[in-house]
Amino acid sequence: MRSLNKRVIVIVLFLILLVITIILRNPSLLELDAPQSIIKTEGATEITINQTKLTKTQDSWVVASQDNFPADELKVEQLLSDLSLLTKDNLVSSNPANHSQYGVGAEGVTLKVGAETLIIGDTGPSFSTNYFRLAAEDEVYLVDVSFEPTVKDPEWRDLSLSFPPSIDRITIQNNNGEFVFEQKDNNWNITKPQLENAVDTRISDLVARIKSMRAEDATVSGEAGSPSVTITVKGVEGEDTLFIGQKEDNERLAKLDSLPYIYYLAPSEFGVFLELNNSYFTDK
């Protein structure tokens, strides 16, 4: 009896090893039931979203339909990642009469990647889902992807002001004087003017504002006018200067020394730098 049990154990172990060997030699067997993406995003160099055309030039994406303005790289990568998740697993309708119900008719967003064209429709039952269909087909599908922050957001330009990432020195000049900040041991300090009892959080807040500065709009031509504020930042990669110039409506025109674009800054972006004075750092 014990001999029979040993034989059974040996046979079971042999079968287990055999299955493992087969899987290791043919890993695709594990993917038989895996959802198959209908969009090939690897190596994509062109994306068209309605009238907006994105093109990859070398290692960077640009908005080709807007004077090749630099594109928001993170947003493009997010879109490509989301598109790679599209499958035909969740069919909700095969009737073209229902297209408008799901927003995939004439009101939908036409998106083209490579040779494939999609119609992106309404948000699904939850905010993290979306309806879509292939432009050449009637079937409508639901996918666990939200296109609200990508496809349905018409702004694809990178409107962030790209300062050197490793900033260790900042100089701000305005009508109230010159203010110099330096980073040492991961702490920011004001070195000019010499101030007693400077509030650390005021300095760190100012640095954070500079690093996250973003424009409302931009153009490839024009002049910023005489600067009311200059912000010069230095880092390992070099230095760059932002000139905040003339007022236009409620905004201020600005230009980075390293780029040819004119940016439109909202008051929330430039106000603190325009009014900066010694008391900003000492008032609690």
pTM greater than the 0.85 cutoff: no
Residue (of 52, 107, 114, 106) closest to 80 by Cα position: 114
* Residue 111 near residue 48 (C-beta atoms within 8 A): yes
Q: Is 192 helix (H, G, I), strand (E, B) or coil?
A: strand
pLDDT in tens, 54-99: 999 888 999 999 999 999 999 999 999 999 999 999 999 999 999 9
Name every residue whose Cβ is closer than 8 Å to that of residue 261 and which is 6 or more positions away in sequence. 69, 218, 219, 220, 255
Instruction: Check residue 39 and give its pLDDT.
Output: 85
Mean pLDDT value across the chain: 90
pLDDT of 32 higher than 70: no
